[in-house]
Amino acid sequence: MNKTINQKAWYFVIPVFVLVAFNAAIPLMTVVNYSFQETFGNNVFAWEGTRWFKQILLSERFHASLGRQFAFTFIILLIQIPLGIAIALTMPKKGWGVPVCLILMSMPLLIPWNVVGAMWNIFALPDIGFLGYSLNAMGFDYNFTQQPGDAWFTTILMDVWHWTSLVVLLSYAGLNSIQPAYYQAAEIDGASRWATFRYIELPKMKKVLTLAILLRFMDSFMIYTEPFVLTGGGPGNTTAFLSIDLVKMALGQFDLGPAAAMSLIYFFIVLLVCWVFYNLMMKNEAQS
């Protein structure tokens, strides 16, 4: 068969090329460019090779913020995923309760990130904030601006408040897609509530939970605005997660080279973890 040659179709692809170029490729390439050079004023550059990468990978500051980042992400996943599933399980399946719950659940997701940070900042102030004042009135020595433990507690609580809803909504959708016949079959078998959850609900929610964990991992691993507004990375550097540290380095100290190298390392870590995680989940999927 003769193929007709029609190169005009390429015109349709051009807008996407341009968009992706300006949106992703060109900015990323400038970062790559910075990461291999020393930058002086007046657009003067000097080639540095892989020096910044070595420096970052060996720096204690980077290790510390990377450690904090993993700890934070790990803790919030550990809280949000089970909590989200638990809330989804208790939500009504029909009646007027459904829209009420769904709207209440999506509220936190609709609030801009910096507003969440500002809200919680005021909410948690030890002298006038409702949370801070109440905790102190109950006899806890609570001050998130000065005590690292309190700062972590507040940041985690804020993130749980802001993002558990996402896990709830995804789990709820997963649960709703299970046909009632499955529950009846389990009931007829005499399965306990736990067995029903373990052998019917959990396997049936697997796909949405994979999605929820991936989304929550990426989002929390790149978290910036909320802790920046809430604690500014403080007290000291105790809540300076990777992105906060990165911005400090890039804009605060104007170390463009190391900051660019750090960005790229950061980017590859996110990519790597997602890839590993996704493949692990999908490997199980292929087996079953």
Partner 1 sequence: MSLELKNIEKKVGINTHIYSTSLKLEKNTINVLLGSTLAGKTTLMQIMAGLDKPTSGEIWFNGKNVTGMKVQKRNCSMVYQQFINYPNYTVYENIASPLAITGVNDDEIKQRVGKVAELLKLSGMLNKKPDELSGGQQQRTALARALVKDSDLILLDEPLANLDFKLREELREELPKLFEDRDCIVVYATTEPSDALMIGGNTATLLEGKVIQYGKTLDVYNKPENLISAKVFSDPPMNIAQITKSGDNCKFTDNDVQWKSSAKIKDGTYKIGIRPHNITTYKEGNNSVEINGKVQISELSGSESLIHFTNGNLNWVSLSNGTQQKNVGEDTKLYMNTDEFLYFDQNNRLVNNG
The minimum distance between CB 217 and partner 1, in angstroms, equals: 23
Neighbours of 125 (CB within 10 A): 16
Site mask, partner 1, residues 226-265, x = CB under 8 A? ----------------------------------------
The minimum distance between CB 180 and partner 1, in angstroms, equals: 9
Nearer to partner 1 among residue 54 and residue 198 (C-beta): 198
The minimum distance between CB 179 and partner 1, in angstroms, equals: 6
Nearer to partner 1 among residue 71 and residue 195 (C-beta): 195
In whole angstroms, give the CA distance from residue 243 to residue 233. Answer: 10
> Of residues 154-213, which lie at the interface with partner 1 (CB under 8 A)?
179, 181-182, 184-185, 187-191, 195, 199-200, 203-204
Nearer to partner 1 among residue 58 and residue 188 (C-beta): 188
**Cα angle: 75, vertex 93, 181; to 5 degrees:** 105
Nearer to partner 1 among residue 112 and residue 180 (C-beta): 180
Q: How far is CA 277 from CA 272, 274, 280, in A?
A: 8, 5, 5
In whole angstroms, give the CA distance from residue 193 to residue 90. Answer: 13
The minimum distance between CB 186 and partner 1, in angstroms, equals: 8
The minimum distance between CB 191 and partner 1, in angstroms, equals: 6
In whole angstroms, give the CA distance from residue 121 to residue 127. Answer: 12
The minimum distance between CB 177 and partner 1, in angstroms, equals: 12
For CA atoms 164, 168, 170, 174, the dihedral sign is positive
Distance from chain centroid for Cα 159 = 9
Nearer to partner 1 among residue 134 and residue 184 (C-beta): 184
Binding-site residue total for partner 1 (CB under 8 A)? 16
The minimum distance between CB 190 and partner 1, in angstroms, equals: 4
Task: Note whether 170 and 164 are within 8 A (CB).
Answer: no
Nearer to partner 1 among residue 134 and residue 189 (C-beta): 189
In whole angstroms, give the CA distance from residue 255 to residue 257. Answer: 6
Residue type present at position 198:
R
Task: Note whether 55 and 258 are within 8 A (CB).
Answer: yes
What the block records as the tokens of 124 is 């948690």
The minimum distance between CB 113 and partner 1, in angstroms, equals: 37
In whole angstroms, give the CA distance from residue 243 to residue 120. Answer: 20
Does 280 interact with partner 1 (rule: CB under 8 A)?
no
Nearer to partner 1 among residue 107 and residue 187 (C-beta): 187
Q: How far is CA 96 from CA 174, 175, 254, in A?
A: 20, 18, 55
Nearer to partner 1 among residue 13 and residue 188 (C-beta): 188
Residue ranges binding partner 1 (CB under 8 A): 179, 181-182, 184-185, 187-191, 195, 199-200, 203-204, 288
